[in-house]
Amino acid sequence: MISEFKYISDSNEETLTYFNKLFSQHEARLQEYKEKLFEINIKLDELNRTKSIYSQGNDFRKNVFSPIPEKRNINDKETKIISEIEELTNSQDYLEDRIEEETAYLRNIAKRINRLIKAKKVIQKIYSGDIEIKYINKETADEYNASSDSDNDEDDEFIDLEAFLND
């Protein structure tokens, strides 16, 4: 019976390795998105400050008593800055959406990894004899009695995604 669990153990280990690699790839992608978003936020801040310098909305030379409102003169620099701000704002929205998607995907992967780690520990307990397996009928169903007393132990192997995302 132990040799039969070797296949289960091997496939569990392969699946765990796959999800760990997948998690690290998406974690790197999430960090790239956060870095790009940080750079965009800095550029937006700089452009907003520069825009206020080039805008002529604060022209105090206009005639206050004139009934005809003057058209605001927009220079070329200001229009370029406004268009850059719009492009960066669109990029910012896109990156924020990608960050939300990656975060949700990482949470899903972390749940699967944690389940696989728990399954690995159960398989190890079966190997060591901490869990007894009784066969009711080999053709219909198997019953097992989990007689281990360490089901509630805290493990350092589990991924604490909330702590990772709050950094």
* Cα first-last separation, the chain: 46
Q: Name residue 47's beta-bridge partners.
A: none
Residue 129 region by backbone torsions, left for phi larger than 0, else alpha for psi between -120 and 50, else beta: left
Scan for tokens 């003057």, then name that residue.
70
Residue 125: predicted pLDDT: 84
Provide the pLDDT confidence category of residue 167 given band limits of 50, 70 and 90: low
Q: Give the range with max mean pLDDT: 41-45, 66-70, 120-124.
A: 41-45
User: In terms of C-beta density within 10 A (0-12 exposed, 13-18 middle, 19 or more buried), how is residue 95 classed?
Assistant: buried
Whether 4 and 105 have beta carbons less than 8 Å apart is answered as no
Q: Give pTM, 2 decimals.
A: 0.66
Is the pLDDT reported for residue 43 higher than 80?
yes
Is the pLDDT reported for residue 3 higher than 80?
no
Is the pLDDT reported for residue 62 higher than 80?
no
Residue 127: predicted pLDDT: 78
Whether 71 and 56 have beta carbons less than 8 Å apart is answered as no
